[in-house]
């Protein structure tokens, strides 16, 4: 007996977006296709569509964030939703109120969606399990577990440059062990049928038995790992990992695993370079690569708004529209 996916409603529509794991290729493709329709909104004189008019979205960020929080706020406003940004440092939660009490108090204000970022793995799932039936939860990053909208905006960026996932080799470089972004990317790439996924890192920053657990190829040499790949995704190295048992100094890490033009020359000539941000220049990559012609890092930021609009609209905005009506609505 198959257990129902808690992210889907009874009709199989997206109700919550907590993790990419367990979602179908068809649903991921629907997110990407819908995001294509939202890219042009930023070029309009009035940068809004009315798909979520009358809905209320609350951003609950228990961790610091700039790109993710800002792009979620812009996405909600471009869908014409009302947005509530909760200042956690001055909220009742900081005064001892439980997470569930905060949730239920905001639900009493008729909030329709919570965008949650939390340092604890599973926090978004916990909130979704206790939320009112009409409320949708989007995971904006939880501990080491998942960052599904980052994973999907990365897939969207890849698809705009490399439409045929089936023939792609993708390398993910950096702190695989602690990265929720890497986990979401691997789940998405696997579901979308990428030919080969490589992870490149020091042994101390790879999960045990990573090849068997994630279906990837592991490399400990950057030049060897990026040879002939189509996409190179660099991960942020958290500075607290430096000068510890996990990593040597920043200088030593860059010497071994920093992406330079010389190392990138082993990838395919049309390979693209990605990074979820923020970049530690001179640690994960040098500026020549970050600002170079193969970098699509700023595109990722732009694409993040469209992808988050797609996910939010699928959860609360247009579930009652059939596909033809939805496409006509999106395309004006």
Which residues are known binding-site members for carbamoyl phosphate?
67-68, 117, 147, 150, 277-278
| Alpha helix segments (H runs only) across 14-141 | 25-38, 67-78, 99-107, 123-130
Task: Measure Cα distances from 123 to 44, 145, 286 in Å.
Answer: 37, 10, 35
Burial label for 273, CB within 10 Å (0-12, 13-18, 19+), is: buried
The residue with tokens 């939320």 is: 131
Omega before 278 within 30 of 0, i.e. cis: yes
Binding residues for L-aspartate: 95, 180, 236
The helix (H) or strand (E) run that includes residue 225 is: helix 222-225
Q: What are phi and psi of 159, to 5 degrees?
A: -65, -30
Q: Tokens 């100094």, residue?
A: 249
Q: Render the burial of 290-301: b for 16+ CB within 10 Å, e for the rest.
A: beeebbbbebbb
* Both structure tokens of 134: 């009409």
Nearest to 287, CA basis, from 261, 264, 269: 261
Report the binding-site residues: 67-68, 95, 117, 147, 150, 180, 236, 277-278
Q: Contact, 258 vs 297, CB < 8 A?
A: no
Residue labelled with tokens 């001055």: 90
**DSSP letter (8 states) at residue 237:** P
């Amino acid at each position: 007996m198959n257990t129902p996916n808690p992210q889907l409603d009874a009709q199989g529509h997206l109700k919550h977006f907590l993790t990419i794991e367990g979602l179908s290729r068809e649903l991921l493709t629907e997110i990407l296709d819908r995001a294509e329709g939202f890219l042009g909104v930023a070029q309009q004189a009035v940068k809004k569509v009315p798909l979520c008019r009358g809905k209320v979205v609350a951003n609950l960020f228990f961790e610091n964030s700039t790109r993710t929080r800002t792009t979620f706020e812009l996405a909600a406003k471009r869908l014409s939703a009302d947005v509530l940004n909760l200042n956690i440092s001055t909220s009742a939660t900081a005064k001892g109120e439980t997470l569930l009490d905060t949730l239920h108090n905001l639900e009493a204000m008729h909030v329709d969606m919570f965008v949650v970022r939390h340092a604890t793995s599973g926090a978004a799932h916990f909130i979704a399990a206790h939320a009112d039936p009409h409320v949708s939860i989007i995971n904006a990053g939880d501990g080491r577990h998942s960052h599904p909208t980052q994973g999907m905006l990365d897939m969207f960026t890849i698809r705009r440059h490399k439409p045929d996932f089936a023939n792609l080799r993708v390398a993910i470089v950096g702190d695989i062990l602690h990265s929720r972004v890497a986990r979401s990317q691997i789940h998405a790439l696997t579901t979308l049928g990428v030919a080969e996924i490589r992870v490149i890192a020091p042994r101390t920053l790879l999960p045990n038995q990573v090849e068997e657990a994630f279906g990837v190829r592991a490399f400990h040499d950057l030049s060897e790992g990026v040879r002939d790949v189509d996409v190179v995704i660099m991960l942020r190295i958290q500075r607290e990992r430096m000068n510890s048992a996990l990593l040597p100094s920043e200088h030593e890490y860059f010497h071994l695993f920093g992406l330079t033009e010389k190392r990138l020359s082993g990838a395919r000539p049309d390979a693209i370079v990605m990074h979820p941000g923020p970049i530690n220049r001179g640690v994960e990559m040098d500026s020549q690569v970050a600002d170079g012609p193969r970098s699509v890092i700023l595109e990722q930021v732009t694409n993040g708004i469209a992808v988050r609009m797609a996910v939010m609209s699928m959860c609360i905005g247009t579930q009652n529209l059939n596909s033809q009506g939805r496409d006509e609505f999106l395309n004006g």
